Structure 1
């Protein structure tokens, strides 16, 4: 399998390093900046245009965010190249989701959604088979984690002295209003009962130092409660370490003879 990456940021660099350590490449990295069509000392080709992607790439991995998925996703899938993405929140846009789905069908390819910064999605997807009555996602971050988001319109983040909810609504609303914080809510929605039925609550909490993600679900299977305290990548405090790890795990599953 020949693998290409989209994005040279913190997540992209982590994934590239882990792939190299496993002898899996990558063959090429598509970025928005840097030298054009330059091969680095590591032998990896850096590209500025998707059209220059070398022949033989069978899997692309999007580590660059919503805009990159919207710009390149359909063209990759139409070329018959499978695509793994961590930018699940972008699919809250029904038009983009339909465009990617149609492109995958035309190209005979598949778009794989990495689990990102959350877990328990396998249990949630299994529970969906029997019927889910409700799914709620709660995202809790220290106030600084919500800087630059619509939370600033409702809360004085600099002076907050107790936990405060700044958003309650559907996963689709959360993904559209908080695009930089939407991927976890989107992952929960995809695994469970969809963007419109999944309820989301976002909290700024000065009493926490990590990003905390919770899933609560009820259905024919019983009840589920899951919580994870996530740490960021050392190179970028805004990027989830587990999100980067989930991309590597998704690639490993594609390459392994036995997988889960």
Structure 2
């Protein structure tokens, strides 16, 4: 596989370490799109940290350079602005993209642009389940007539630092679990882009951004990130609760997010996909 990555942060670094431990995934070439002016440093880091992958490495700073490396598949893990700047170009070129920053779909104009770019290039936008489970069942129930979908996301106060939660509650002074946001998945994903990708995933699989109810919670007793949703349809009622450990080096991200992306890569090359 010739793999492209957009971004080289916590998720990308962890993913590459997991790929090295996954015999089914054999990389022929790895191209990473990083920040302008940082490609030399990035290239050296890739060689030093992931030489065990046994593939060629390249660090680039534009979507055009990434496409010149002829990737079979691209994984975006760099945030909403990277989606805006790079993903439409890659999709138009006919290359499938795994979109980790799913909350970007909360912006109507960007969602329309991404869908149009994928259609124009004959490419697919792959949305991994990320930190939550049961997305397959939720999407399957949609044609059966979903009547309600409610999501709760609970993380330690420190995971909400640097977000609007700081003005809603005293994060440092919390003594008990506190709901600081109640609204739609669209508002949650827009206001908390680094924390609420799960809300966006659930919305896209189910009732959409404007009809999915969301509660965000800060809990000083939480040891990790908990995601829970309840969906009601004409044929079934389901409740899913996942308690995740945070990703090493980034308390805002659940480590299962990286394993979710690894699953997409394995299914890309495996004779049996599940």
- TM-score normalised to structure 1 length: 0.94
- Cα separation, partners in 2 of 1:25 and 1:86, compared to 1, 3 Å: farther
Pick which of 177-186 and 48-57 moved more: 48-57
Q: Distance in 1 between matches of 2:230 and 2:29?
A: 37
Aligned to 2:155: 141
Q: CA deviation at 1:183?
A: 0.3
1:16–1:26 CA contact under 8 A, matched in 2: no
Give the equivalent residue in structure 2 for 1:4.
4
Given the alignment of the two structures, is residue 196 of structure 1 paired with residue 196 of structure 2, yes or no?
A: no
Q: Which residue of 2 aligns with 1:125?
A: 139
Comparing 109-118 with 28-37, which one deviates more in the overlay?
28-37
Any residues of structure 2 matched to 1:86-101 within 5 Å, and which? 86-101=100-115
Cα contact 2:62–2:86 (8 A) shared by 1: no
Match among 81, 86, 93 for residue 67 of structure 1: 81
Cα deviation, residue 256, structure 1? 1.9
In the alignment, structure 2 segments of 5+ residues that lack a partner are none
In the alignment, structure 1 residue 220 sits paired with structure 2 residue 234:
yes
Residue 17 of structure 1 is matched in structure 2 by: 17
| CA RMSD across the alignment | 1.6
How much does 1:79 deviate? 0.7
- Within the candidate set 23, 31, 34, 1:31 is matched to 34
> Is there any run of 5+ residues in structure 1 with no aligned partner, and where?
none
Q: Partner of 1:46 in structure 2?
A: 59
Taking the aligned partners of 1:150 and 1:68, their CA distance within structure 2 comes to 22
Contact kept, 8 Å, 1:213 with 1:228, in 2: the verdict is: yes
CA–CA distance in structure 2, aligned partners of residues 26 and 68 of structure 1: 22
Does the 8 A contact of 2:154 with 2:225 survive in 1? yes
C-alpha distance in structure 1 between counterparts of 2:196 and 2:43, whole Å: 33
1:97-144 deviation line (CA, Å, top 9, x unaligned): 000111111111111111111111011111112111100000011211
Alpha-carbon shift at residue 239 of structure 1 (Å):
2.6
Distance change (3 Å), C-alpha of 1:181 and 1:237: closer
Equivalent-residue separation in structure 2 for 1:227 and 1:247 (angstroms): 20
TM-score (norm: length of structure 2): 0.90
